[in-house]
A and B are shown apart, each in its own frame.
Chain A
């Protein structure tokens, strides 16, 4: 079936190939350019929000609810006000008239229950960690010290902590309106016909545990005002969306509010939010007239940065006797936590169109109920909805293979969309523009040595080796490049999905690119420079990329959902096209030729059939001087473009994972991991590989290590990095990565996006491997995270019910 390649040697070849500097210039796109961003990051000259020190700046510390659900009966801040260095102490009552409600931009149904969400609790607290008061003081130590002097009395209420119990009649309620926020349904084909007398029906329930995104930079906010205008620095992914939302929430007019995302230390969705602390810091600076800073501690952040996942997935598949899928039915409970935040209810919807995965089927039926509990709200976390969907269908494909009695790769081949069938409209109505699942899979199998590992697995099974070997497969796709505005509108999202770029050619021929995307580790400064260098024929070094400040980048939809290149990069391309068209007019005028006779390549305009030419830099200077321009020509080469995609993009790939499971201790060890991803054309292979590596690590972390745990009173037990296990280098293996390149047909760069792919793909690959290792022991599921204890207990209870 497969040939055995030396994975290490292949990876090395790829790296050497990628490292090639194209001699004598050539295309920048596709080169493994080292990043422009690195210089300040490796030397410590970064500007993180917490680095900012302003004259007279005050520091804010928040007192947070120790109760999951309680009424606030008394607040006394008088003692705290007398503490050293304290400038102000405020409780929710102090902000009650002006703090508004934190926004939810995605009411998924007309009757979605969106409870009031005061940034600081006034009468009731609904999760542990909710802000109830704050101290403003001259330094961070003084602010933290005075918190202990604030007295608050609570009348405890019964907390709601389990989604199934929350929906039962007569129990405690998180909000007066009840514990159900919405029920959203979606269907394609005739699901009843698909299940009617189906030879094979498999029914499974999977638990997507609650996760804490854990960006390395804790959140920080600096707010200042001159009495009229406001400036907010925040460690955010979304300076543009944040500006609009803060204006609507606080009443500060949009044109008097500047939002800056300086260097931002990772996000993974967790900084795609309008937070209580951002609103409150603005209100405090408005009230005191002084600049204020708040920086969270990690313990505070684990409680109060929005969490991810937390869904209960019931998935049923109906299939023919040969394993061909007839239909898939999904019933989902999604834990909203205590409130709906920016896109909380939309996260499961982003998965709703993905439970069919790469497979063909006749019918599909999806129902999701959003449930309130007394926990931190959930929201976007790397992949947002799509990892959950991919996990469920890829786990189920393995179950189907066992039921039919074929190799799990064979069951996938029987069901997936063939290369020749693209473009393919799925049962969910999405049109996958391009893909080649066969090519990516064949490459992955060869790198992995699939047949050899299967042989070793058989051998270990026969020998009853206490250390069993399992092989996990994940043949995933995802929808990303968020998003076509019209589709977002049809899903009741409150905004569009376009992206904006400005390209400015300076008098000396250098180029400034202003992007509406807001990078926080992705390397846009480098990748956008490569795109512009190719398009305008200017040196890579001559391009600067500006971002993250609403005063310089006035328009944007920011960075999430693997959208930056696929949407924002295309806006850059379109803006460059407009620049070239303007420059062509000037070049033709200067060379006394018709614009139709002027060709452009590698930075030079040439009059066809002559030796006459002008560089784009010469045109830039001539345009700046404006002495001799075509009549009526506005003296500038600058151009803007706003791009709204017509379709999502659909990266795909095959991930293979071999795991050794010690059946005596429950310990697992990843022996090898191969990922072949197809993200379309690649701008910078180094950056793409990095995104894949990091994504795989986060997906593995969900499979093996991470879970946000609340106790029966609603206290978060995993408040520190000692309790919430973000994996270290010692916990993870090396990954073998490779690519196939099937260009997207929906954009001029042929790109598909890569930010989330690794995370979406890897979790089911790992768990499939663990379950595969333990099949002979009667195990058909292990609940995530598959800790040694949980694996050990599952082995002893024989089966796979959630432990």
Chain B
């Protein structure tokens, strides 16, 4: 067992974990952070994407021990003061989700994408999200949502 200290969605945790425990299992099974789903076992689908110290990672390919000392943001920590993040709002407005299983990962990957490129072209969004798979939407509305959120965020954070 290894001792880890990790902050998840603003709350500090200390836990003993098996060195092989995946971060996503730590989040889901130990902390009850079930907002982060698992879609594959080969790091292809991105459903489990979270922010690790602000950068998007696939939490199925990070060990819990690697998150020691880190700050993790899941979909459950994206809203602030009950207000949805602009990316959450845009996904709702543009109907960028159907079954919603890929949505938490898609939103967190989009937040990271918009950090690097606050005004992405359609192509930049498509390339930037290629590590996150969606089976329902055909991606058109996801692309629209990310660009809408970008516009919103540029207006609100000059």
Interface residues in chain A, defined as those with a beta carbon under 8 Å from any beta carbon in chain B: 34-35, 37-39, 41-46, 48, 50-51, 53, 139-141, 214-218, 263-266, 268, 295, 297-299, 520-523, 686-687, 689-691, 693-698, 720-722, 726, 728-732, 734-735, 758
Contact = CB atoms under 8 A, between A and B. Distances in A.
A38 B97 contact: yes
B141 interface: yes
Contacts of B136: 216, 266, 521, 690, 694
Nearest to B100: A41
B40 A694 contact: no
27 contacts: A42-B91, A44-B35, A44-B36, A44-B104, A48-B101, A51-B34, A141-B21, A215-B135, A216-B39, A216-B47, A217-B39, A217-B101, A218-B39, A266-B135, A295-B38, A297-B40, A298-B40, A521-B100, A521-B136, A693-B141, A696-B138, A720-B40, A721-B133, A726-B135, A729-B129, A734-B122, A735-B138
Given A42-B107, A729-B126, A265 B88 contact: no
A297 B41 contact: yes
A728 B101 contact: no
Given A43-B76, A720-B44, A728-B133, A216 B102 contact: yes
Contacts of A141: 18, 20-21
A689 B137 CA distance: 9
Contacts of B28: 50-51
A297 B41 CA distance: 6
A104 B36 CA distance: 36
Given A42-B84, A266-B98, A728-B129, A217 B41 contact: no
Contact of A693 (B75, B127, B129, B137): B137
Contact of A726 (B91, B99, B133, B140): B133
A266 B75 contact: no
Contacts of A735: 138, 140
B98 A522 contact: yes
B158 interface: no
Contacts of A686: 95
B143 to A, nearest CB: 7
B42 A299 contact: yes
Contact of A690 (B42, B122, B130, B141): B141
Contacts of A46: 34-35, 37, 100
Contact of B139 (A44, A295, A732): A732
Given A50-B34, A215-B99, 17 more contacts: A35-B95, A44-B74, A50-B38, A141-B20, A214-B135, A218-B38, A266-B98, A689-B95, A689-B141, A690-B98, A694-B135, A697-B137, A697-B139, A720-B40, A720-B41, A726-B133, A729-B143
Given A43-B79, A45-B35, A521 B40 contact: no
A223 B43 CA distance: 29
A734 B140 CA distance: 6
A506 to B, nearest CB: 27
A721 B137 contact: no
B112 to A, nearest CB: 15
Contacts of A730: 126-127, 129-130
Interface in B43-91: 44-45, 47, 74-76, 78-79, 84, 88, 91
A765 to B, nearest CB: 14
Interface of chain B: mostly helix, strand, loop or mixed: loop
Contacts of A520: 99
B140 to A, nearest CB: 5
B44 A729 contact: no
Contacts of B91: 38, 42
Contacts of A522: 98
Contacts of A689: 95, 141
Nearest to B107: A42
B103 A41 contact: yes
Nearest to A47: B34
A264 B98 CA distance: 11
Given A45-B35, A728-B131, A693 B100 contact: no
B36 A693 contact: no
B125 interface: yes
Contacts of B143: 729, 734
Interface string B137-151: 111111100000000
B32 interface: yes
Contacts of A721: 40, 42, 44-45, 133
B154 interface: no
B16 interface: no
Interface in B87-126: 88, 91-93, 95, 97-104, 107, 122, 125-126
Contacts of B47: 216
The 8 closest A-B pairs by CB, nearest first: A44-B35, A41-B100, A265-B101, A521-B99, A697-B138, A693-B138, A721-B44, A44-B75
A732 B88 CA distance: 23
Contacts of B131: 728
